[in-house]
Structure 1
């Protein structure tokens, strides 16, 4: 009897509760109360591309000041165009399902077999937040897991990394990691695939917004520095000079990169 109660509790905690949590988030998305990153950034950029316009806002656009502007490489906007075929609430739910599916896919790619880990991951606040906001962090996490899974297969691992960087450059440190671990063919594939996707996607939109892109990133960086949790933002909050904050930020980044390779 005691074991049965434990089993029921385990199923409730790691099986039923995650489904309820995800269900509440999806319900919010269906009602239009969530998913601002997807609605404001991705859908807006996709619709602009379909109209033959630049997916990037002007520097004076209010979305830049709010930190909700579309600033990803063009390929992300191109990949979002199919979602414009359905109402925005339906599109938000469909994209949420993709994000939710990325969580177990990530664990599976890393060889996790304990089913409770899957339920626990779906209960993790950062995961629920990523689905609620509908950014692509969970997809980037899946890409990182796939790069690790196929790290000894140059084409698959390298191409996955290159494609991921072309969509969102967050995983660029894995390039130096490939280099440090002497996976040179993986480096070549990642550079080749990433460059092909970047150049190709910019060409599709007629290189619209390319000249202003660097300034857009710089301005968004300034905005996000005020709200972010980076070493740079923390140093500024502690009244460090801008140059000191940046040097500290760079030093910590280099230290983490070196540590990840050595360890």
Structure 2
């Protein structure tokens, strides 16, 4: 290296090299370099991998497996232990009833028994759910209990995966986040219809321009769990009036037909039984009604406030349907209104929120991580702080999903 006459530094290739290399041709000089054999041939000589690096994947992959794969396997593991006879939960007493297995698969057992009664030609009542839910469980009621558990679990997981796929989720980590969440865990271990309901809502959105598909999807959801009735208002707000009329007519046929299957037994007593069940449970769930009662409101005041909130929610659905992206906004408001207005909300109801979340953020983001904080909630809220925690998690997840999607649309 030397300084030229113009003040610039000039690099000499032979400067500073060993004397033994001076005078050699370029080809000979290249041949002496490590990792180079012959002229112009680079030989890649990777550093030998240790046994540890050959066995353990990179840190990011390991973290993703720990966060999104392992939690999703918890519920299937408990089901396997239950079927193998090695799962032993502490007995509990709930609403005066004794559950020796801690309430594991409680909902499924109630529904399976209803379906089994119909198979035997008996009335399923007293039964907490409407007649269409009992008729829906006939295929499972025809099976032995443990076989029905396997079949129902497979159906639940199939509808969960299908629901997320229908709304555009392709990132495997989102599937893991949803299936490993507390709402999904309780949906599986209690044996509920929450994931099939989410599938129905997702199908209604995906095939929203196919009248009969939408009608069948919404009817299947509403006649088994009434709290998602605002989905019908979504059809009206987005001016799908023919679809709304078809949905109402089909719903009437399904409800009347289901009660006819069991000879209308229990129809007259069902409203009273439903009111009694609501009176026992609505103050112990994660609902707005429960929050108002915990804050000191009387039953009458809480019902009046809920009626006023219903009017606000209905107006919000119709207002959201206006303008750009009104279809999706109204659908999201309808799902949210169903959860907001229901006097009883159990954690597994919240799997419906993943459908709305996926509509705004189909790939992994912070909004998919936030629901992990739902794991701190108790089985039944007995303090205002528990309810506020649940509401805060839902609000933060929804806000993050919408805020991330807005800049992309503006661009």
1:172 CA drift (Å): 0.9
Contact persistence 1:144–1:171 (CA under 8 A): no
Structure 2 gaps of 5+ residues are: 1-52, 88-100, 321-411
Identify the match of residue 78 of structure 1 among 98, 115, 135: 135
Distance in structure 1 (CA, Å) of the matches to 2:217 and 2:73: 32
1:6 CA drift (Å): 4.0
Instruction: Tell me the matched-pair count.
Output: 249
Structure 1 gaps of 5+ residues are: 58-69
Residues 206-225 of structure 1: pairs in structure 2 closer than 5 A? 206-225=263-282
1:257 counterpart = 2:297: no
Residue of structure 2 in register with 1:125 after alignment:
182
Q: Deviations over 1:14-46 (max 9, x none)?
A: 66414532322322442475211111x111211
Identify the match of residue 36 of structure 1 among 87, 106, 109: 106
Contact persistence 2:115–2:134 (CA under 8 A): yes
Distance in structure 2 (CA, Å) of the matches to 1:242 and 1:78: 33
What SS does structure 1 have at the residue aligned with 2:122?
Answer: coil
TM-score by length of 1: 0.86
Residue of structure 2 in register with 1:50 after alignment:
119
Contact persistence 1:162–1:192 (CA under 8 A): no
More helix by share: 1
Residues 35-184 of structure 1: pairs in structure 2 closer than 5 A? 35-39=105-109, 41-57=110-126, 70-184=127-241
Moved more, 46-55 or 138-147: 46-55
Distance in structure 2 (CA, Å) of the matches to 1:146 and 1:89: 30
TM-score by length of 2: 0.56
Look at both structures and tell me which one has the larger radius of gyration over its CA atoms: 2
1:84 CA drift (Å): 3.0
Distance in structure 2 (CA, Å) of the matches to 1:107 and 1:160: 15
How big is the alpha-carbon RMSD for the aligned residues of Structure 1 and Structure 2? 2.2
Distance in structure 2 (CA, Å) of the matches to 1:159 and 1:94: 23
Contact persistence 1:29–1:132 (CA under 8 A): no
Residue of structure 1 in register with 2:77 after alignment:
24
What SS does structure 1 have at the residue aligned with 2:269?
Answer: helix
Contact persistence 1:54–1:208 (CA under 8 A): yes
Residue of structure 1 in register with 2:284 after alignment:
227
Q: Deviations over 1:43-70 (max 9, x none)?
A: 121122233332111xxxxxxxxxxxx3
